[in-house]
Amino acid sequence: MPKEDIIDIAAGQKKAHLIGATEMAGDNADLEVTLHHNYYLDIQDRMPLLRGGNAHVYNIVMDAAGLARAKKRITPDMAKAIAAKGYHFDVVGNGAISTENGAVLLEKSYLIDVFSPVRNNQKDPNQADYTGKIKAEDVILSDNGTVFRGGSDDANSPLAPYPVKAKDFSWNGFKTLTYSYTAENPENLVAQLQGMDGAGAGKLNWSSENWLKTVYKAAVSKNVQAVEDSE
């Protein structure tokens, strides 16, 4: 395989947000999180993965176009050779995941080439304890150029929970969200979150030499008093 192909295949980030570090932990049911206006670029899994509790996820972008391109570089013959050596290697693309009766609401978001956008069991489909509640509402999914907009409950929806039969959605511990919010039209999210004031904390303009240092000399800025940094 050419070096460029190897780099492309290895470039994707494996995991993003895990909510609930330990399987079946007694306090997983107490977890509550809201995620919004995040841009996940070529991340293969957990956007987020919830173990118990509640997660409200809106106005996010899952952009896995690079992963889809990389996956095509692994030919069927290569996949057979990898499997014959006993390796479990592939480019995967899981989106939002709910397990252990957790409740995940994914809404007003834009998904690009995500292989399995909505999952409700990440452990064992035959073990009901690992199945969660998850629902998509007004989500745009662009899959190899084919665009779907809708929710989990639509007929023949590509956003229907996988791999087990969906549980009826309800929040754990309350009936409705306890805060107000304004979710934006997902049509404009990609451009919006790629903009200067989009997702993230902003861009750091720093020389490459500074990233390699462990000790810095005193520096002065308009708003920061000079300090001596150490390792």
Catalytic residues: 46
Closest to 107 measured CA to CA, from 135, 63, 137:
137
Peptide bond preceding 163: is omega within 30 degrees of 0, i.e. cis?
yes
Peptide bond preceding 48: is omega within 30 degrees of 0, i.e. cis?
yes
Residues 6+ positions from 23 with CB-CB distance below 8 Å? 51, 100, 123
Strands across the sheet containing 133-137: 32-36, 54-58, 103-107, 133-137
3-class state of residue 189 by DSSP: helix
Q: Which value, in Å, is the radius of gyration of the alpha carbons in the chain? A: 21
